[in-house]
Every structure is written in structure tokens, then in C-alpha cells.
A and B are shown apart, each in its own frame.
Chain A
């Protein structure tokens, strides 16, 4: 099992551009979570998705950020009109089910730098 895959690993954008971050969960996992880690801080929950459904987006900024997990293909975290404050590491995690509190397995992260 290849584990959770994220790409790109590093992404550089200029202010105002769009950033698209991809996450492929572990095989057999249907639950995806996105976390953001700002410099010198811990990981902060952003959004929890199942296939074609957003379950909890309480950690998502109200504007410019969106996430999806389509029936086919990876989960996408999209940031429109990026600003310098969006520079961070974005981690994706997956779990097999939502029954109880399943262990979440993390990807290597995407480090976004906004110039």
C-alpha cells in the first residue's frame, strides 16, 4: 500500500494566482481530511470529506478556499487568489471508515509558498 499521496510536494504561487493541491487517500479509504500547518504552529483542521460529500468544513476559511472529493480521482483543495498568509504546509489524511474514531494516516504534505 503506497500510503496517502499528495502532489505537488512544493508549490510556488504569486499573489492572486490559484493553488490546487491534490490528495489520493490510501487504498480502501473513503474519508479524507485536510489540515494546515502555519510556520511554527501545530496542524489545524480544515475540512473532512467523504466521496462526493463535505462532512465538516468548520475549519475552512469562509472565502477563497474550497475542497472536493469526487467519485473518481483525488481530493482537491483549491485556494483562489492566494495571499502571502496562505503560505503553509497543507497535509491530507485518510481513514477507512468513520465508525468510532479511526486512526488517520497522513500524507507527506504540500508546502505552499506565496510570493
Chain B
């Protein structure tokens, strides 16, 4: 069975500080991993997926199969990054398994 763990429910940083949101997964197959973000009063939206290896809004995430991790990083946090962040794994059957989410608060 697959599982996604986000160990931090809340992460608070100051503007301009680096931020890392942790995500660990367990899955026996070849995983596809995503980060979704939910800004206040908005719907869940895709931030990035590991297969595309792109940077969105300054965020990057690298899949580390050895450590079974897909941590989300940004070198300099902005106040507008404050949101809920969800790590998710897609199995071959198209079911998304979500972590519990991390609330990022960027203080001025």
C-alpha cells in the first residue's frame, strides 16, 4: 500500500528565508509525485510534478528514490507563498494518495 507523509503540520519562516517542506513516501512501484498548493479561499492547484523537473514560482522538488523523499524547496520565501501544501503520489491506477498537508506561513 502506498503512503505519503508530511511530518510538519505547520512551518513558519520569515520573508526571504529558505524554506523546505518535507515529503516522504512509501510505494512498491515506480512513483509519480506531485506538489499541490491551496491558497486561502482558492481551490487546490498543481504546483509541480517530478516528471517535468521544472521550477514553478521559484519552487523545486527533486525525487530521491534512495531516501523515498520529494521535498519542496525555495531559496527565498515570499509572503504570497503562505498556503497549504500537499504532497501526493499517483499510482498506476490514477488514484492520488495525499499527505496530511503542511501549512506554510511566511512572516514579514
Contacts and interface: CB of A to CB of B under 8 A. Distances in A.
A32 to B, nearest CB: 11
A24 to B, nearest CB: 14
A35 B101 contact: no
Contacts of B98: 35, 42-44
Nearest to A46: B95
Interface residues of A, number: 28
Contact of A103 (B43, B46, B99): B46
B94 interface: yes
Given A43-B96, A104-B96, 4 more contacts: A42-B100, A42-B101, A98-B94, A104-B46
Interface of B: 4, 6, 32, 34, 36, 42-46, 49, 86, 90, 92-101
Interface of A: 3-4, 31, 33, 35, 41-45, 48, 55-56, 58-59, 91, 93, 95, 98, 101-109
